């Protein structure tokens, strides 16, 4: 089968490896332009295999469709695509286009599906291989895989330990089903659909008056990106690794009431959070204990003011 791969980053790399390992013919790869001074890993991998690579700013740019049709693909595989791919490219191959999405569609459509499942405190999520159309994650479903969200999973652990490897396998399975003529097109149930916006810093601000559970879910849902945001002495402070404390504190919400070797404890609306890793404004991520030592954060300080 002649496959055109549209993707990027490590997920695109692994999908390309898996497709080639199955003996499929990849006739071309489309990926974003390289960052200055940093060649894209998917481009380098494709070139090592002698596969033509195209790196338009956007798939709808002038000339891209003509380049694409010269490849004469039987199937498009979309592996981590953040661009809007035109319908005429989606519908061009005789077998259509399949796409990976890290949620159980129609729940959590959009570009931050994993984040919001964790932030909402859900206990299960999964992945979907679907047939994309002109909407955002709205096409018919080909297959789905469900995974648990453990109580201490972050967006990072959920993706890299579960949804990433399972997603690569699912794409290979979907290609086999298409070749065998057994791939379904199951309409999404629009009554169950949810769509959330991108998980940006502006949306990840911590309200320390909220219950511990909600704050904890926000922090782990924003880990590793973009980080849950608070302030300390007027400066932005992002919070990443943390631990819940069920014992209520007499301190006011947002108040630092204990400092230890592993970090510092902050009061919430009904308990406390132990902060273990942070990112001060303009700096990299560091252990909370290092932040305490360097900043002289002390008991009685307030976050979020």
| pLDDT tens figures, 169-210 | 999 999 999 999 999 999 999 999 999 999 999 999 999 999
Q: What confidence score (pLDDT) does residue 305 get? A: 82
Could you give the CA distance from residue 190 to residue 141 in angstroms, rounded to a whole number? 12
> Which sign does the torsion angle of CA 241, 243, 244, 250 carry?
negative
Give the per-residue pLDDT at 216. 98
| Per-residue pLDDT tens digits for 275-295 | 999 999 999 999 999 999 999
Band the pLDDT of 56: cuts 50, 70, 90: very high
- Which of 106-115, 205-214, 240-249, 251-260 is the least confident region? 240-249
According to the model, what pLDDT value does residue 248 have? 77
Whether the pLDDT of residue 51 is over 80: the answer is yes
Between 39 and 207, where is the model more confident? 207
> How does the average pLDDT of the chain come out, rounded?
97
- What angle is formed at CA 253 by the lines to CA 112 and CA 204, rounded to 5 degrees? 15
Structure tokens at 12: 């695109």
Q: Is the pLDDT confidence value at 230 over 80?
A: yes
Closest CA to 225 of 240, 236, 213: 240
DSSP string, the chain: -EEEEEE-HHHHHHHHHHHHHTT-EEEEEE-PPPBTTB--HHHHHHHHTT--EE--SSTTSTTHHHHHHTT--SEEEEES--S---HHHHT-STT-EEEEESS-TTTTBSTTHHHHHHHTT-SEEEEEEE---SSSS-SPEEEEEEEE--TT--HHHHIIIIIHHHHHHHHHHHHHHHHHT----BPP-GGG--B-----GGG-B--TTS-HHHHHHHHHHTTTTT-EEEEETTEEEEE-SEEEE-S--SSPTTBEEEE-SS-EEEE-SSSEEEE-EEEETTS--EEHHHHHHHH---TT-BB--
Share of the chain above pLDDT 70, in %: 100
Return the pLDDT at 226.
98
Q: Could you give the CA distance from residue 33 to residue 214 in angstroms, rounded to a whole number? A: 38
Q: Is the peptide bond before 106 cis (omega within 30 degrees of 0)?
A: yes
| Percent of the chain's residues with pLDDT above 90 | 96
Question: Where residue 247 falls among pLDDT bands split at 50, 70, 90?
Answer: confident
Convert the pLDDT of each residue in 135-173 to its tens digit: 999 999 999 999 999 999 999 999 999 999 999 999 999
**pLDDT in the model for residue 114:** 98
- What structural domains and CATH numbers belong to the chain? 2-192 (3.40.50.170), 201-295 (3.10.25.10)
The per-residue pLDDT for 252 is 96
pLDDT, residue 95, reads 98
**What pTM does this model have?**
0.95
């Amino acid at each position: 089968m002649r496959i055109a791969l549209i993707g990027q980053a490590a997920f695109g790399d692994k999908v390309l490896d898996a497709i080639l390992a199955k003996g499929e013919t990849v006739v071309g790869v489309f990926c974003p332009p390289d960052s200055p001074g940093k060649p894209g890993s998917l481009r380098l991998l494709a070139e090592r295999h002698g596969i033509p690579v195209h790196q338009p700013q956007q798939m709808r740019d002038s000339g891209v469709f003509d380049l694409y049709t010269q490849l004469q693909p039987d199937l498009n595989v979309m592996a981590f695509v953040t661009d809007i791919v035109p319908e005429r490219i989606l519908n061009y191959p005789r077998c259509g286009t399949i796409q990976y999405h890290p949620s159980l569609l129609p729940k959590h459509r959009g570009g931050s599906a994993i984040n919001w499942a964790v932030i909402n405190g859900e206990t299960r999520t999964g992945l979907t291989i679907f047939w994309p159309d002109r909407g955002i994650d709205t096409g018919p479903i080909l297959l789905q895989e469900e995974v648990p969200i453990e109580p201490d999973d972050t967006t990072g652990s959920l993706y890299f330990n579960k949804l990433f490897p399972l997603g690569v396998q699912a794409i290979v399975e979907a290609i086999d089903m298409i070749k065998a003529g057994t791939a379904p097109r199951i309409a999404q149930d629009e009554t169950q659909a949810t769509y959330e916006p991108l998980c940006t810093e502006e949306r990840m601000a911590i309200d320390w008056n909220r219950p511990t559970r909600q704050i904890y879910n926000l922090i782990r849902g924003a880990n590793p990106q973009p980080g849950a945001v608070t302030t300390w002495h007027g400066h932005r402070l992002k919070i990443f690794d943390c631990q819940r404390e069920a014992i209520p504190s007499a301190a006011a919400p947002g108040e630092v009431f204990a400092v230890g070797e592993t970090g510092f404890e902050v009061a919430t609306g009904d308990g406390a959070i132990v902060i273990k890793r942070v990112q001060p404004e303009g700096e990299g991520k560091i252990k909370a204990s290092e932040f305490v030592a360097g900043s002289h954060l002390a008991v009685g300080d307030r976050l979020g003011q």
